[in-house]
């Protein structure tokens, strides 16, 4: 059975959350957001190691019981998510890597399996995503509708995103060298000429980003645990 490494970017400040600590350490039921995320990833038999990428001044992670888990390694992130991911990739020894936001605690084993089973479709890699359901508008500078975007082939990119490790590291390096804003791993791979596969994932794999997301994530986790 092929095994992989997961890289979990967790070096953000969570500013949009407006909380008194980085959002990945906010409580969600019986444990923190990041502990839910890591517990989900650790449950997948093909994930042999998780590299958690934390901020240089992070004093939270070391106090978590999972910090001493044998499959968990920690490294230091950077000022942008892409730099944090690149630092995490330097700790990866497997041919393939799965990158998943610490702020997405509702990832399911079934979705992880679906993504992992897609990697035999080539080196372009794959990401979990959900087709856009709402009508999409592009705004002008005064926040008035400029146009309606054709949503036929529009998707929300989620994580995990899964790629050959070296190709991803080279692609992020190249994108950063061109000062291109890389908000996910797929955008770096696209820039390098790859065409990653979009794999339909669950819409409840939300990224906890703003205050109202916390209660929603708690409800989703509760519903998943009852299923
Ligand atoms: N320099 C950064 C910025 C973000 N992240 C991580 O990338 C994930 C997704 O980023 P986002 O939701 O934007 O988190 P923050 O950057 O913390 O949020 P904000 O933009 O509101 O500050 C999070 O798990 C976050 O910890 C990271 O590792 N390094
Ligand atoms: C990687 C990501 O979660 C895919 O949707 C998203 O791009 C992260 O963006 P953020 O602004 O760093 O939260």
> Is the model's pTM score more than 0.90?
yes
Which segment of 55-64, 66-75, 76-85, 115-124 scores lowest on mean pLDDT?
Answer: 115-124
**Ligand 2 proximity of 176 Cβ (cutoff 6 Å):** no
**Ligand 1 proximity of 77 Cβ (cutoff 6 Å):** yes
State the ipTM, two decimals: 0.98
pLDDT band for position 176 (cuts 50, 70, 90): very high
Nearest CA to ligand 1 atom 5: 12
CB of 53 within 8 A of CB of 7?
A: yes
CA–CA dist 6, 142 (Å, integer): 41
CA–CA dist 5, 186 (Å, integer): 17
**Ligand 1 proximity of 80 Cβ (cutoff 6 Å):** yes
Nearest CA to ligand 2 atom 8: 183
pLDDT of residue 118: 85
pLDDT of residue 119: 82
Q: Which ligand is nearest to the CA of 26?
A: 1
Residue 1 scores a pLDDT above 90 = no
Residue 122 scores a pLDDT above 90 = no
Q: How far is the CA of 63 from the centre of ligand 2 (A)?
A: 26
- Topology of domain 4-226, per CATH? Spore Coat Polysaccharide Biosynthesis Protein SpsA; Chain A (3.90.550)
Q: How far is the CA of 1 from the centre of ligand 1 (A)?
A: 32
Q: Which ligand is nearest to the CA of 159?
A: 2
CA atoms within 13 A on the CB side of 48: 12
């Amino acid at each position: 059975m092929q095994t992989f490494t997961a890289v979990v970017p967790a070096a953000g400040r969570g500013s949009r959350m407006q909380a008194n600590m980085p959002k990945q350490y906010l409580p969600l039921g019986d444990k923190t957001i990041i502990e839910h995320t890591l517990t989900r990833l650790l449950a997948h038999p093909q994930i042999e190691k998780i590299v958690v990428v934390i901020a240089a001044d992070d004093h939270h992670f070391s106090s978590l019981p999972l910090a001493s888990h044998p499959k968990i390694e920690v490294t230091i992130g950077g000022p942008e998510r892409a730099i944090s991911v690149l630092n995490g990739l330097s700790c990866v020894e497997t041919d393939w890597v799965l990158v998943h936001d610490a702020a997405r605690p509702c990832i399911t084993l079934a979705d992880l399996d679906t993504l992992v089973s897609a990697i035999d479709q080539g080196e372009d890699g794959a990401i979990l995503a959900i087709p856009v359901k709402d009508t999409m508008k592009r705004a002008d500078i005064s926040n008035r509708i400029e146009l309606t975007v054709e949503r036929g082939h529009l998707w929300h990119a989620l994580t995990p995103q899964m790629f050959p490790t070296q190709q991803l590291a080279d692609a992020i390096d190249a994108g950063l060298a061109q000062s291109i804003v890389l908000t996910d791993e797929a955008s770096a791979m696209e820039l390098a000429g790859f065409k990653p596969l979009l794999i339909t994932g669950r819409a409840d794999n939300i990224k906890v980003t703003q205050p109202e997301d916390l209660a929603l994530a708690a409800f989703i986790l509760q519903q998943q645990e009852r299923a």
